Amino acid sequence: MLSNSYFCLMRKKSRKQIFENIEVIDAGAKGKTIGKAPDGRVIFMTNTVPGDIVDVQTTKKRKSYFEGSAIHFHSLSEKRVTPECKHFGTCGGCKWQHMGYEHQLFYKQREVENNLRRIGHLELPTISSILGSKNQYFYRNKMEFSFSDSRWLTLDELQSDIIFNDKNALGFHIPGMWDKILDIEKCHLQADPSNAIRLATKNFATENNISFFNPRNQFGMLRTLMIRTSSIGEVMVLVQFFENDIQKRDLLLNYLRKTFPEITALLYVLNTKQNDTIYDQEVICHSGRDHIFEEMEGLKFKINAKSFYQTNSEQAYELYKVTRDFAALTGKELVFDLYTGTGTIAQFISKKAKKVIGIESVPQAIADAKENAINNNISNVEFYAGDMKNVFNEAFIATHGKPDCIITDPPRDGMHKDVVQQILNISPEKVVYVSCNSATQARDLALMKEVYKVVKVQPVDMFPQTFHVENIVLLEKI
């Protein structure tokens, strides 16, 4: 007798369809590309480029669309390029590496415009051309890698005759699989010495029988590796341990200190929780400082292991310059910087303002902002910690005054509706809205369009080879 699981499997297989000779006509949200099925429904695909002509096997069927992957390519798009990274297609990052950079910028710009029009229903000025990144690879200043004692084997490896005795991995999670780690030979996102440090860490640990973590069964010593770099040549390395073997821990850390004398801050964390986040953990300095410095226009920013800082330093400078230009400050203005983080924007614009007040929910970030301001001899900034919708209220305005300009740079979810309403209540002459998600930005702007008009729009590409895009909007009172 056939089991119920057999019939479930057959039903799943029967729901899959193959559509032949589908032209990929567009790129959509979250990096997926778009084609049309014979019945007119949209097909969202994951492994194609606009201009490809493919056969698609569906993986999901919904009322108005399908999801699927190309299983055969009849012709390849002229927009295609050869990916730089050998891990492309298996690793979850850099999903647009197979598309020429000029085309990446085109689709990012169009996504911004489509979101502002379709979600926000906004009247828009001419949108400025997206600011591309000078460095299309090796642009990140922070990378986090995970250890595993049972690395992910690719399809080519499984189909080969090779016997893989080394099961250790130090790399990235396979998309959608929290316990599967792809071992990375070379990552094209962070400049050296990042790759050298990662490979040396893995090899030394393997040779010295320092165990790699097993996330499913929660055992093993080495858990994660974080590497941060700065534009002035400073390097932070943080190793997260699950098991506390002091002898082996010191063996590895002393090896890294001696092998890579350029490491400015060598840190570690002992974390026996089920998750590997370090924000509630004690960070211990093994050698060097417990922080590194980043620099921008003569300003120095102290960055510790838990600090937020824009991960593309060079493009962050371009982003902040546009933000400052949009604000067009004269030196007489009171400016509120909402979601200030470690106060980088607030300090960057401070020379052009009478006073800048930053608000942020993370107390440690505010502590960093205050310390950075002191170190930079900036006296016209103040920083306050607390939940934005609770802190940014009438009493706060009564105490600090009504701002002439508000700069807001919220997380991907955008602003809470109460924060939007408070901005409308205050109605400063200008609002500069910096966003890493133009969809939620458009939603918020739609709530403000009776009071404000969109005067300028400037997309900025912070993350080449991905579908992510930042956008800056200048609002002025109607």
Residues acting as catalytic residues: 436
- Helix/strand/coil for 329: coil
- Helix/strand/coil for 236: strand
314 neighbors 134 (Cβ within 8 angstroms): yes
> What is the rounded distance in angstroms from the CA atom of residue 58 to the CA atom of residue 55?
10
Tokens at 472, concatenated: 């800056």
Residues 6+ apart with CB under 8 A from 135: 314, 464
> What is the rounded distance in angstroms from the CA atom of residue 377 to the CA atom of residue 391?
26
For residues 217-231, one letter each, b for 16 or more C-beta atoms within 10 angstroms of the residue's C-beta and e for the rest, the string is eeebbbbbbbbbbbe
DSSP character string of 92-137? SS-TTTTB-HHHHHHHHHHHHHHHHHHTT-----PPPPPB--S-SS
Most distant CA pair in the chain: distance in Å? Answer: 83
Question: Considering only CA atoms, which of 234, 362, 386 is closest in space to residue 308?
Answer: 362
Question: Considering only CA atoms, which of 388, 445, 468, 340 is closest in space to residue 122?
Answer: 445
Residue 299 zone, left/alpha/beta (φ > 0; ψ -120 to 50; rest): beta
> What is the rounded distance in angstroms from the CA atom of residue 190 to the CA atom of residue 197?
11
